[in-house]
Structures are given as C-alpha cells and as structure tokens.
Amino acid sequence: MIIGSISENKDKEKRISITPEISKKYIASGFEVIIENNIGDHLGIDDSDFIKEGCKIEKKEDITKKSDILLQVSLPSKDNFKNFKEKNILIGNFDVNNNKEIIDSIKMKSSIFSLELLPRITRAQSMDILSSQANLAGYKAVIDSFALFKKAIPMMMTAAGTVPASKVLVVGAGVAGLQAIATAKRMGAIVFATDVRLASKEQVESLGGKFLSVEGSENLETEGGYAKEASEDFKKKQEELLAETLKKIDIVICTALIPGKKAPKILNESMINNMQPGSVIFDLAASQGGNAAFTKADEIVENNGVIIVGESTILNKLPVSASNLYAKNLYNFVLNLYDNKNKKININMEDEIISKTLVK
C-alpha cells in the first residue's frame, strides 16, 4: 500500500505530517512512501533525508492519484481532490466544525478521518494530536509571554535589593494549561490557575500551582474529559474571583476552549483595565474568539498599558518539534487502521477510535 503526503500551504502551516524518521517506520511496516519534493525544506529537512530512508519523491498530481492513504496537517485545497485515487483515505486535522461544508461538498468515494475528534480513551493517547500539540503550545506561550514582559521572572536577591518573583495566572488547566504551569514554575514564577473542571485542582497543585476555585462550584466536565459551558451563576462568581486576583497578576496565559464552540470570554474589559500597566495577556484561544475581551487573532494590542497577544498559529514557531509529534500520532493511527495479517486497511466501525474520527 502507498502512503503519500503533499506540501501544506507554507504561508499558513509550517508543520509536516511525515518525517524521515516516521517514513522509515512506515516502510518497515510494509508501506511504500511517496512525498512531494521540498516538503520539509523550510524545516531544514532535505529531500535526500527522505530518500535515504527509502521514500520516493514525486509530483503532487501523481501523489494524489497513487496514494492509498494521504497524510496531511490541514485540509487540502479543493483543487487537489479531483486527482484523488478512488476509495483512498485522507487523514489529518481538518477542523471539521469550520470545514464541514467543504468536506460535505467533496464528491469522491474517499474516507476522511479528522483526528481532533479522537475519543479521550487510554488506547487513543498515542494518536492524540490535540494533546501532543497543546503541550508544545503551552510551553511556547510561556516563553513568548516572558519575552514580552519587562521584568525578571524569578525572585532574585542581590546586594542592591530583592527582585520579587513574577505572578502568572493560567486560565484553563487542560494539556496546554498544565504545561504552561510547569514551564512557568520551572522558570521561577509564582503560578495560579483556574478551570471549570474540579478534577484539575489536584493536577495544578501537583505541579506547584495554586488552584483558584469558585466557592460552591460544580464540576463542569464532559464524559470525554473536556470542559463544558458554565452557568451564569458560576460565571458571575468566577468574575468576582478573577477581578480581585488579576490586580496582582503580571502575566496571564489563556487556554480555555470548548470543543465546537466559541472560546468563553473569561477576562472582561473592566478586569483588564484594572490590571497593572506592563502586564501581559497571552491568549491561545484567539482562533476561536479569545478568552480576553480585547484579543485580536494574530495581533498584539495594548490596552491601558496591558499587552494582549492573540496567538492562533503558535505551533508554526516550533514546527520541527510539532511535526515530529504530529507525525508519530498519525503513524499510530494508521497502524490501528491497518490489518497487518491481510495487508489491507480495515475500517472497523466497532472501533471507537475509527467511528468517532471518520467524517466522510
């Protein structure tokens, strides 16, 4: 069977879905691998690195015609689908909620799997693209926000006096948030965190953070482990708690998302207006509207002395690490699809991993 991948739109997406290391694994598992030329040149990965592992370099049109399985990061443009091999398989991270019309309009007999829909079960952890990529996003958000902050992060005791440790608040203690907490703590910050899921409290505290909980709150967690929308009463109590806390906070990392919906607005205008000038808000939820009132996607704005960063493509700043993890996630998903005994793809709809991610 042939596995292929064509170049992404490099102006928007720097990650790739097959690396030389992973292509070697596919070939060892009995697949043939074909990729478009210069697919990884922007990452310092030369075509010769792929060829050395046994890959073949071909034209885009030939790859889409020949591939039994096409691996991508984002949804290919519609022009590419007209060349697709009949009954092939397309796997990637296709943002189904925003691309549903495009996917439904594709007139072909291919099977499309979008891995952001993976169920949160133990067996799917090695395929979980959201977790692997969010981990990097949480780390990078802290690094970039610290670079913008004009004070030292750890406490420093000097002959000239003591520099106090900076205070960081992480909004949303999912994978990105927990990595942000861990990174900020390692760099010497005092870290606070808040989340609507009470189960997060133990995780936050295990990393050395202080969990801010709303008095009398219920656990707002879905069966799949995601956050669900809070009640108006909860939102009001959360606002009161955050309003006081934010007056003392230097850096806020926003990571709160609800799958399939706009990001919850957690930091309102009055909260931000009362923050200390020079503070930084780094909003990783910008692509879904942002958690902060003044967030603009892919822009840095200043309000009353507070810097607000709206980040929607942060993984493009760590494309090599992100590609390595993403490619491994896809490799594990392909192995789950592949019937090694009969050397064919088996779309077993009784497998929750397959049934939940199949979108067409």
The dihedrals phi and psi of 208, each to the nearest 5 degrees, come to 95, 10
- Return the half-sphere exposure (C-beta side, CA atoms, 13 A cut-off) of residue 226: 17
Cα separation, 159 vs 226, whole angstroms:
48
The verdict on whether 128 is a catalytic residue reads yes
Q: Kindly report the backbone phi and psi dihedral angles of residue 292, in degrees, each rounded to the nearest multiple of 5, phi listed first.
A: -110, 150
Q: Is 203 a catalytic residue?
A: no
Cα–Cα distance, 304 to 311 (Å, whole number): 20
11 is catalytic: no
- The one catalytic residue among 23, 72, 128, 200: 128
Residues near 232 by Cβ (< 8 Å), separated by ≥ 6?
A: none
Annotation marks residue 125 as catalytic: yes
Q: Which of 46, 48, 125, 231 is catalytic?
A: 125
Which residue among 226, 276, 321, 351 is the active-site one? 226
Closest CA to 111 of 86, 135, 128: 86
Q: Which of 131, 133, 145, 179 is catalytic?
A: 131
* Catalytic choice (68, 95, 110, 120): 120
114 is annotated as an active-site residue = no
Half-sphere exposure of 67 (CA within 13 A, CB side): 30
| Contact between 89 and 69 (Cβ < 8 Å) | yes
- Active-site residue list: 120, 125, 128, 131, 226
